[in-house]
Structure 1
């Protein structure tokens, strides 16, 4: 009996041990490889650092290091040169479309507040600082509409998409970050303002294509004024506008063709004077389309041609670009022709066509092309397309992009589970360390294929560097500012942002 009792105890112990091992193995399998910002412990040090690796072993991980106390003899030193100064930065962000706003409003108030705080808060988040919104509908709206569908500018009014979704979201964002900049762009004017061409001027009763009837230039200028004033009345300031989203694209679900001659005249005779007469300091950026001008020979250098009229140019702050065609070197060409005019980057998309949810490749490409590529070619702002789409890439419109992903995608089954895509990471890496009013500055020293960076001096005197290591090797780089220096081991295939005083 004693033997049986002993064997029973051994069996019980072994059984318990197996259960424990099984539980441990199960926990290990379910461990998340994607820590989020709230999981990061508080860190302190002379240099604040954010790290994202393409495999998400680091997911916007917040770290810190101290300045080195030893002499710097490292051959891999990047030295900042604050006397070499380029453009002043306005900010970084995404588009808060009707679709993005709708998805955000499906979240619980608590979950939405948490996401918006993480995204926009300067103190407790990544400090996104610029937003693009549509004036009326876009291809990511719940319906096709303008703000004056009944003929007569006296019928102007904000619609349900603004009142129920966009404005409430903007108010929540402004409560978190009151200094956020907002730029507005129309996809189409009211249909009653459209004609089929500028010769026959027959009515063009369609959301898609058409031209703005010159007979309604003044009414359409007033349309912009009324929109700005209506949002101001809601406590939402508008920093800038573009006269037309993608003016060379006739095929979008809501669109208008507006060649450079038309845009020049509209700005000179209506939009500029109307904004001025209303006492509005809202900036005007022209073009808002692709680097290659959609391969239309007569539209090449679209902004430069508008600037050639001194009156029109006097109303214009600069030009906005997208990257759906051509090369970012066009930015440098336009800057060299008119260095007195600003450049901003206002739209890029990820989707099924460019493997948009493949973070290992998209993070590297988008950081090089969109983030650092535009900033290092004189852009003051970088704005990506939809802030948030759902897991079915919507809501969207027929004729618009039905294959796009958002900067983040939210699960349509629960409106809670969020997937962060490459565009969220690239904007967050910039905005976390480069603040509005910062100046891009020069650097010297270490360089290598696959390693790209930009350096800045913030208004508070702090320095910032955003660096891409698109190689398969860890890089140990020293950063120096003439007074202090520090070393950091940069993981392979990673983006790292630094800020120090």
Structure 2
């Protein structure tokens, strides 16, 4: 047998043994000797990631009755591997951070990026030059410089890069960083305008692909490793801010003929390239067009999506994510942006804002999503800065008048996932017997299960957490979210 064949066979055998070991570990899960600890956040209470139950015991419950509300968890059925949860460090976030008191800055960093003292964010998204959440439009080159000789990220060194470095350090260096462009420079577009949509001119496809490479090189020289890229933020939206339109075919061809090969030739073929980066509504059409082309698909790590499809008056299209996952199980799904729009200071503590996060995160993970990225990690007391007045909510707001922080329900709801789900956890089966409760579960590498349960009703509910023929009884308050660890 040839040496290469022996090496290949050995690699396959080791992989099979590793996979088999993981299956055996999941299959051998038992609740014997395990207790359940419950953390709760609830509307109209002081509960915010509060430990509300400890040492709940599992007892026999071989056949639940139809009258008993149950959450059925099966650790033997494993699905996607968890990548992480995080948010975007935009120019706006960094500028507000710089205006906080030193004490609030330290509090902010720990609140997001410290797993013990905060909620353990492990993903950072950032913008490639300006977006709407910048104080103004800018690029990294002089206008007209297609050769990119003037390329410089000096602008980002003032606020954004220092904050990113501090966030990464607080997280212990383990952060997944990816970047997204909102628009090419004006001269590269048919409209000669970074705002209001427009398209990338074909004669600048290569120059624009080179721009991504320059960005990666520049950020990595600053000590910020770039894990991946999305091709274009919201490529079907003509916005009043920085935006650029790509049809599915145009994005496919840009990836296939320019961006993918350019990353490969530059030594960045390992960077994870994500397409679409827009709402769930057209997710299937975009994925089909790009991924059914083998030459384009080979460069694509995954498909990104946002949650704003409800602008049309309809409901969130959670099932679309699952259907795309069924079609392309070898590709990854990544939630790349979501926020509560139309900022109103009087609604900072509106519980429904947080429930929107909980509902989306549960459905998205259950439909195969590996990672979930919120929009701005920090905005000011006006929902900005935003250079076109598109003010929004964030989980944390900084009051630039006092230098203090404002925590919103969204922060705590996200924390019910990000604080407890561990690196490379496996999602496992988690099913509610009634529509009143939403649930998802993960099996951490340390062998513990994390089950999240959310109650959107006005009633206090009693349910059984069931694993096989064992169960423990749990109460959940109205409009509450719980994380159960066992």
TM-score tier, shorter chain, comes to 0.7 to 0.9
Shift of 1:484: 7.3
Instruction: Specify the alignment match of 2:90 in structure 1.
Output: 97
Structure 2: distance between partners of 1:168 and 1:275: 26
Shift of 1:346: 1.2
Is 1:231 the equivalent of 2:219? Answer: yes
Instruction: Specify the alignment match of 1:287 in structure 2.
Output: 276
Secondary structure of the residue that 1:453 maps to in structure 2? strand
Which among 175, 184, 187 is matched to residue 179 of structure 2?
Answer: 184
Structure 1: distance between partners of 2:286 and 2:228: 19
Q: Which runs of 5+ in 2 are unaligned?
A: 1-33, 311-316
Q: How do residues 11-410 of structure 1 correspond to structure 2 at under 5 angstroms?
A: 46-68=35-57, 70-72=59-61, 75-150=68-143, 151=145, 152-160=147-155, 162-177=156-171, 178-196=173-191, 204-280=192-268, 281-293=270-282, 301-325=285-309, 327-352=317-342, 357=348, 359-368=350-359, 370-398=360-388, 401-402=390-391, 404-410=392-398
Q: 1:52 to 1:285 in 2, by over 3 A?
A: same
Structure 2: distance between partners of 1:212 and 1:378: 32
Shift of 1:206: 4.1
Q: Which runs of 5+ in 1 are unaligned?
A: 1-44, 197-203, 294-298
Q: Is the 8 A contact 1:128 1:427 kept in 2?
A: no
State the number of aligned residues.
Answer: 438
Give the number of the structure whose alpha-carbon radius of gyration is greater.
Answer: 1
Shift of 1:357: 3.0
Q: Is the 8 A contact 1:53 1:59 kept in 2?
A: yes
Q: Is the 8 A contact 1:320 1:345 kept in 2?
A: yes
Q: 1:233 to 1:46 in 2, by over 3 A?
A: farther
Structure 1: distance between partners of 2:58 and 2:161: 51
Structure 1: distance between partners of 2:35 and 2:167: 30
Q: Is the 8 A contact 2:248 2:290 kept in 1?
A: yes
Q: Is the 8 A contact 1:225 1:278 kept in 2?
A: yes
Q: 1:300 to 1:78 in 2, by over 3 A?
A: closer
Structure 2: distance between partners of 1:292 and 1:353: 24
Instruction: Specify the alignment match of 2:400 in structure 1.
Output: 412
Shift of 1:309: 1.4
Q: RMSD of the TM alignment (CA)?
A: 2.3
Instruction: Specify the alignment match of 2:447 in structure 1.
Output: 461
Q: Is the 8 A contact 2:81 2:426 kept in 1?
A: yes
Q: Is the 8 A contact 2:41 2:413 kept in 1?
A: no
Q: TM-score, normalised by structure 1?
A: 0.82
Structure 2: distance between partners of 1:308 and 1:184: 25
Q: Is the 8 A contact 1:67 1:484 kept in 2?
A: no
Structure 1: distance between partners of 2:442 and 2:277: 26
Structure 1: distance between partners of 2:226 and 2:347: 31
Q: How do residues 470-485 of structure 1 correspond to structure 2 at under 5 angstroms?
A: 470-481=456-467
Q: How do residues 415-434 of structure 1 correspond to structure 2 at under 5 angstroms?
A: 415-416=403-404, 418-434=405-421
Structure 1: distance between partners of 2:277 and 2:299: 16
Secondary structure of the residue that 1:113 maps to in structure 2? helix
Report Cα offsets for 1:85-117 as digits up to 9, x if no partner: 222111112111110111111112232112211
Report Cα offsets for 1:6-27 as digits up to 9, x if no partner: xxxxxxxxxxxxxxxxxxxxxx
